[in-house]
């Protein structure tokens, strides 16, 4: 495969192609590099965040008081679970102050507000994990269309040469057909992996969201005693 793509014949066909075909191939190459760079970056980041989430879950499941939760948040500072715990604790402080000020039987109402804010934070963190992943799906769709564009462009060149030379022999049509096939091949080589990488990262992000939901549920378990007794 490597010899096929970089062999003398293939390289000569690329070099003999016109500026439009070369531009299409260059764009496709740039898209492929961007997709793979984004994929490896996201894999590394998700792997680190997954480890942090697992550690946070082990710690929070052993927490029985708000003080334990505060200490855990300090230990996990600089991580996504630490950020989440700090945010939830700030919301808890605000709602507790309101609860003490108004008194009465509003504990359950404030507890519902805290739980809603906690899961809203999870949604925001999940959205942050999905950042830039759209590039993969966009490249998967665009690469196919660019390959199709190159195919049409190459065929148009073949028909132009036929009309100019008044001949339809293989020497006349071969260059245009070669341009068409090269761009089609490269387009598929870019689009297929991009689509696979997009689906893979989507599954990983959904699993990451599941860890965040577990952290939120455990935090709410510890904090509910402040409002519900």
Q: What confidence tens digit (pLDDT) does each residue in 47-63 have?
A: 999 999 999 888 888 87
Q: What percent of the chain has pLDDT over 70?
A: 81
pLDDT in tens, 108-141: 787 788 888 888 989 999 899 998 999 999 999 9
8 A C-beta contact, residue 99 and residue 105 = no
Burial class (CB in 10 A: 0-12, 13-18, 19+), 202: middle
**Sequence-ordered alpha helix ranges (H) in the chain:** 2-6, 8-16, 19-61, 66-75, 80-102, 107-129, 134-165, 170-228
């Amino acid at each position: 495969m490597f010899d096929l793509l970089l062999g003398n014949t293939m390289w000569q066909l690329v070099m003999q192609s016109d500026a439009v075909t070369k531009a299409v191939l260059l764009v496709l190459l740039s898209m492929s590099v961007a997709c793979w760079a984004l994929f490896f970056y996201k894999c590394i980041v998700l792997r680190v965040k997954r480890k942090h989430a697992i550690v946070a879950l082990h710690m929070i499941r052993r927490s029985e008081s708000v003080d334990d939760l505060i200490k855990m948040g300090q230990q996990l500072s600089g991580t996504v679970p630490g950020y989440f715990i700090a945010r939830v604790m700030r919301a808890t402080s605000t709602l507790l102050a309101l609860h003490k000020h108004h008194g009465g039987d509003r504990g359950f109402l404030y507890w519902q507000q805290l739980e809603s804010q906690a899961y809203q934070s999870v949604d925001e963190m999940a959205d942050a994990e999905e950042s830039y992943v759209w590039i993969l799906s966009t490249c998967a769709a665009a690469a196919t269309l660019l390959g199709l564009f190159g195919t049409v462009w190459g065929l148009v060149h073949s028909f132009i040469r036929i009309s100019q030379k008044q001949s339809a022999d293989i020497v006349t049509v071969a260059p245009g057909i070669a341009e068409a096939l090269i761009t089609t091949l490269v387009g598929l080589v870019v689009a297929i992996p991009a689509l696979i990488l997009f689906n893979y990262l989507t599954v990983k992000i959904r699993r990451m969201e599941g860890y965040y939901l577990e952290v939120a549920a455990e935090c709410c378990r510890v904090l509910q005693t402040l409002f519900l007794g």
